[in-house]
A and B are shown apart, each in its own frame.
Chain A
Amino acid sequence: MAGISIELKKLIKDRSISKLFLALGYSTALSSGNWILAVGGIFVFSLLGAAIFGRDERSIIYQVYITYTVALSLIISGPLQLMFTRYVADRIFEKEEERILPNFIGSVVLAAISGFAVALALSFYLFKGLAYYYHLVFAFTVATLSAVWVSNSLLAGLKKYWYIFVAFTLSYFLAGVLFLITFKQPLVVSFFGFYISQFILFLLLLYRVLLDYPSYKVLEFDFLNPRRSYYSLALTGFFYNLGVWVDKFAFWFSPMTGDPLFANIRTSVVYDIPIILSYMSIIPGLAVFFLKTEAEFAERYDEYYDAVRNFGSLQQLYFFANKMILSVRDAFYDTLRIQLVADVGIYFFELPIFYLLKLPPLYIPLFNILLVGATLQLLFMVLFTLFSYYDRKKTLAILTGLFALLNAILSALSQYLGPYYYGYGYTVSLLIVVILGMIILSRFLNEIHYRTFMIKE
């Protein structure tokens, strides 16, 4: 953690524009590099495949298949990601580092087994009528990806961003190459190729954990002990990932907006492209958010809690608390400001961009709404991070639960109301939770001393 923070702070303190951009680039790579790589890599290699071997549906099926495995594995492993990361943080704090590896193996096994079971059950519907190996490859891929997300969140929680970035780069490059090699083979071979790349990614992440946290024990499930773990974090992880994906499922599985693509795997010609583009559009905001939380807020946070731990004077406590609150404001508003600038730029140039990407301009109305939604999701991520710092587990569970519930209900409602309302389900649900989050955070910070000294959630 310190390494990243120090490096970013050094770059910012230089106060030159080039260094600032370097800091932003650094933040971009660390905050969103792996998923940009994943999405971008698969997209580029799919295009390459289509260009080399001729256009067919194969590239699209491949991309959609990956989306399904990622979505499903994120939701399944969601409960473990936060809960286990917190468990590890507590073990490090309590100097019980030898328990990290066996519990990591335990959480990975649990994530993989649940991923395999759920995916296999779902595969009977998704791959109905197809040979058994489609079911198996799908189930194994979801299991492996579930393990990858648990490993990824552990390493991200431990701020091993560069390692994650490099591991993702290698594995997704491999996935792309394997896709090209298997392009003329049956689809299941390409799916298997993706599975291999993800298994290697898992091995790379596992290697790092083995290297950093050696232990004599192999397997342990201590992280499931209710007295040593926080199940509210499991709920938060599940709700957040469900909330992020539920609108996509609504659009895929609605007969009005989705169509079957391969067996029972469905896609939405209306929703998929605009949502991907809107997510890509928040990269500038993500970079600033990462920079602001990792380099500035984290420092202010440490200053305040150092003062608390070191019995600082009341004046010092107020001084550091106010500095921290200001950095909360900065993190929130600077992220919003930069993202809004990017949004306005995109809004004015979206038509040529769409033409350049050879995308129909009919996507633009929905894209604009989803862009606002993605901006709000970015703000929600800022609030999520801040609440995580303050250990507001119940608040996080309530907010993410509300987000998932609202997104599900409003997205379904938007389907019923018709195409003018597409995207509003996702966006309005985020607007509600962001506003609610701001109110709760503001009230919490207003009572920061009282809550720090008197209340333990």
Chain B
Amino acid sequence: MKKRRYRLITAFKYWEIALLTASFVGILYLLFPEGKIEYWIVKAEKSNNIDLTKKYIEALLRVKAPTQLKLKILEIYAAVGTDKEIKRIIDQIRKKNPVEALKLEFLYYEGKYKRAKYEADRELLKRKMELVLKEIVTVSNNPYLLEFAFKKAILYGFPKIALAAAQKLALITGRENWMEELFDIAYINGRYDIMEMYAYKFKPTKPLTYLAYYTLELRKRNFKAALYYLNRYIALKGGKVGVELKQDLAVLLIATGKINEGLNLLRRYFKNRQKLYLFVMKRLLDFGAYTALKRFIEGYALKVSGNSEYYSEILKIALATGDTEFAHRVALQIAKRLRLINR
């Protein structure tokens, strides 16, 4: 007891100091504003202090910049800033992430494009958007950005850019879906050389791809394969395709030897046999199906009677096959039919 009487109280025990320190450090840790600043920036759609928002965004861009935030800055600058300021911000972003800056530049132009009232302005902005997308595809190897460029190119009708983006994506990712996309875009652009490169390297999943394959096989005069793909295309479309394609299907049947089947399908579209036969002959000529054409002319077209105009057309088509002997033979048969010669 006596000992206790002559003992001083410790004002702050070490564990108290440690606890106080830990508590304050813990509070400061919990208050760390990462995410909170971004939340208030994005949430404050119409901030009553635009300078404050700008200041924070610019500071954040130096250290970290989620895309959403970058977009916000462009929105803010688009509303209050000048093009010069926007360019400054984009240049600032470009220092850290040049390709991301291009994406933002595109989105900025896109926003302006959507708000533009005059056609001339829209055209100008569309041109700028095209240039930016082109640059993205040229400089970027990032699949996400290339996909972005691809989609925007499709949306705004820049097929060449879409093709370049898809080609890069197919190469970088090696994914079949991108090969298919590339194949389709190449088809839209009429780039058969690219189609040849990627054909049969992926399993087609889209109707357009079947159509593209049909076109490719038709160009190569693989009529059976072309028939297969056109058939699949029409089936995938539930039969809801244009008359021309339905007619082409019938012509392909004829080209592959199923003449009666093909003719039966075509009959509904033509009033008389002459017109039907003329159509078949012209399409077979277009397809380059010369063997089938010659067979059809001799076996069907010349078997029906027609006027001089009809025969004249047949003769022209026969000549167009490039086979002069065949054309001569056809001419003789026509002459006989028209009783111009007796033999």
Contact = CB atoms under 8 A, between A and B. Distances in A.
A418 B63 contact: yes
Contact of B11 (A256, A359, A446, A449): A446
Contacts, number: 125
A318 B28 CA distance: 39
B253 to A, nearest CB: 70
Interface centre among B13, B34, B41, B55, by most chain A C-beta atoms within 10 angstroms, is: B55
B68 interface: no
A257 interface: yes
Nearest to B7: A318
Interface in A61-112: none
A329 B12 contact: yes
A312 B202 CA distance: 101
B236 interface: no
Interface string A287-317: 0000000000000000000000000001100
Interface residues on A, range: 35 or more
A321 B37 contact: no
A125 B227 CA distance: 85
Given A270-B55, A318-B5, A441-B12, A419 B49 contact: no
A21 B41 CA distance: 40
Contact of A358 (B10, B21, B48, B51): B48
A439 B15 CA distance: 11
A360 B37 contact: no
Interface in A266-284: 269-270
B52 interface: yes
Contact of B8 (A269, A361, A364, A448): A448
B56 interface: yes
B12 A439 contact: yes
Chain A at the B interface: SS class: helix
Contact of A419 (B7, B8, B37, B51): B37
Interface residues on B, range: 35 or more
A361 B9 contact: no
Given A322-B9, A448-B8, A365 B62 contact: no
Contacts of B24: 372, 376, 431
B59 A369 contact: no
B59 A256 contact: yes
B176 interface: no
Interface in B55-99: 55-56, 58-60, 62-64
A87 B291 CA distance: 122
B269 interface: no
B260 interface: no
A364 B43 CA distance: 13
A449 B7 CA distance: 11
B20 interface: yes
Contact of A420 (B8, B53, B63): B63
A438 B53 contact: no
Interface in B266-291: none
Contacts of A362: 37, 40-41, 44, 47, 49, 52-53, 56
Interface in A329-363: 329, 332, 358-363
Contacts of B243: none
B33 A366 contact: yes
A270 B20 CA distance: 29
B11 A329 contact: yes
Contacts of B304: none
Given A360-B48, A428-B28, A438 B12 contact: yes
A325 B32 contact: no
Nearest to A365: B33
B12 A442 contact: yes
Given A314-B6, A446-B10, 13 more contacts: A259-B51, A270-B52, A315-B6, A325-B9, A329-B11, A359-B48, A362-B41, A366-B33, A417-B63, A418-B59, A420-B34, A435-B20, A446-B11
8 contacts: A318-B8, A366-B33, A420-B63, A435-B20, A442-B10, A442-B12, A442-B13, A445-B8
Interface of B: 5-13, 17, 20-21, 24-25, 27-28, 31-34, 36-37, 40-41, 43-44, 47-49, 51-53, 55-56, 58-60, 62-64
Interface of A: 256-257, 259, 269-270, 314-315, 318, 321-322, 325-326, 328-329, 332, 358-366, 368-369, 372, 376, 417-420, 424, 427-428, 431, 435, 438-439, 441-442, 445-446, 448-449
8 A-B pairs closest in CB distance? A365-B33, A418-B63, A442-B12, A362-B40, A419-B59, A442-B11, A365-B36, A445-B11
